[in-house]
Chain A
Amino acid sequence: MRTEAAELVFDEATKVYPGRESAAVDHLSLTVPEGEICVLVGPSGGGKTTALKLVNRLIPLTGGDIRIDGTSILEQDVVELRRSIGYVIQQVGLFPHMTVEGNIGTVPRLYRRPRSWIKARSAELLELVGLDPSYAKRFPAQLSGGERQRVGLARALAANPPLMLMDEPFGAIDPIVRARLQDEFLRLQKEIRKTVVFVTHDVDEAIKVGDRIAILREGGRLAQYDTPQQILEHPADEFVAEFVGRDRALKALALRTLGELELSPATEDGLPRLPADTSLRDALALLVAERRNALLVVGADGAPLGVATREDLLA
């Protein structure tokens, strides 16, 4: 599969709904580098979804501009623009009268791709999103919520768009399946490296999924745009600190793994052993639960790498 991605720039993008005094999105400026996931997060009324829909012009801009790879969205034919952007929504919106393959083939059919091409492409995409190729002939009504969202993702990827817009894609899915879908989405993203704008109201999801997080506050104003680590460790103001939560220090720990620490040589026996890809948060939880002060970090093969103490974890 080709790996194309586009740089997305919001340049003073503004939306004021007719008849409203205040803006829904207020002079939003940010750049999403190609191949990165930018999560828009914030309280309701923050204009996250509005900002997302400005990009594919489902909602028209009031002021400012949005550019994809340097080209203004206003200069492009709106239908062509939308076909070149993958779009995934919370309720999925699969076409109930089409099979999974028919759904995936929607945009390719608009481009008059031959049947055989669509068949092969849908098999490829089903595998990519973790569904058996036998799903091709099923109808949406025969799928679970998680499976539908996977098909929705496959459908959005069908024309290999350089940019994906995802509006709370996992919001309607139960927590266990949601966590799995997030993991698989991140694995998939490593492979396909699209530029992604991802809307959520869930801070934890934002931290887990985002390369960068844009926190929007009431009135559609950007409160902070930074990496998850930076936002958790250096929130720009009270609002951001409050929004990410009192446990932000713990959330920051969840972003790093034992393998990233400088370990001291093993001296004691009988320490609890944890693999190097364990998060610092989980490691700390283990130390607290077992009332210990240090643990032994081991590699994937089980070989000891070194010792990490409580102080190391919290440093």
Chain B
Amino acid sequence: MRARLFTPAILCAVAITLMTTAWAQAPAPLAAPKAQNQIGFPAKLYSWVIPPDNPQTPAKVELGRKLFFDDRLSADGTVSCDQCHAPAKGFTDQLPASMGIHHAFGQRNAPTVLNALFNTLQFWDGRAPTLEKQIEGPILNPVEMGNKSFDDVVAKVKAFPEYQQSFQTVFNGAITMDNIEKAIAAYERTQTAFDTPFDRFMAGDQKAINASAKRGWSLFNGKGRCMSCHGWNPTQPLFTDNRFHNIGVSAHKSDFVPLARKALVLTSQGGGGLQQLDQLAIQSDMSGLGRFLVTKQPHDIGGFRTMGLRNLLVTEPYFHDGSQQTLWDVLDHYNKGGVQNPYLDGGLLPLGLSESEEDDVIAFLATLTSPEYAGVSNEELEKQRARSKTDRPQRDEAAAMGRAGLGPGFKGPFGDMTPAQNEENPASLGGN
């Protein structure tokens, strides 16, 4: 379906994935480093996030690109970075949770590489501080790339003659784990995504987005309360607060307190280093504890990173476990005030959004698609819209409208927290 609109790109990406010799070829358009003259590109922020000890150079980026697409880096030569971060799929795999070597599945949804350079911490739970360090997770994780040690990875790269020259040019010949990480991170830092209809709208083009999307932008900033975490401003136009919130997603299947106690014991015995945290997060039932695994603070139980919203119609499904299929499901989840649990973030309230208001918010979210994904994004939107007509697993009208709590007895152990829903819709007050 998508190939109809993006035939050359898809074919190229597929070719790169399939052919190990493709490492030497020119990048497919979607995988190529992105220009910095995109409308809405945060030039100042960009200059701040490039680490001084790993400056961007074209040769390093090119080396990083080759490594990124080289499946020989995995234990059995079948999985490269782009298996889960495919350019054609918005640098994700569009799976609920990712598949590694031997077709093993983890428990977390692959976050996009696009704009990941701006994250203050990496992974859903922030367990790695930088893109460089992030690489150390999947490359060793038994259900991802499955290598036994960094030494194995380095030995492998050393054995590929085609890398000798590149490492000579970029790192004076030093093939080390540090330098492999630096090169891949440098490539990832070229993957920015702006220049969307919304960016053009904010730059002054009133016609860049339609009336429904404008109402959606108003709701996003008002009644929908979205901006309290997914904030936008010209310096930081990323739609994330870079913080961690329990919105109740993992409360569906995690019994938090016993899990937390278990995690404390395990991490104190196992040292709690990145590798251990990585395995607990990807492979164990403690995955649902989220940020708590890293900080051991009770208020971080079930907390996950606020994801940026750009290109989210190419990065479905949604949430840390990929448990929601459509944006309507996501909005239904927030509309009813999340899933009640003892560690639910204080910002989650029933929102009282009507069906047409949800449609407007989603129309706004659809304007966050970069031009190279416009076709697939539109298709996905229509697919989700069709699905939303028949399948709404998260819809809870009574909770969303604040009626659920008024009946006799508490609903759940915490009752409902219901603000008055009679204020005027902010969308009618402004926003063109």
Q: Does B bind A? A: no
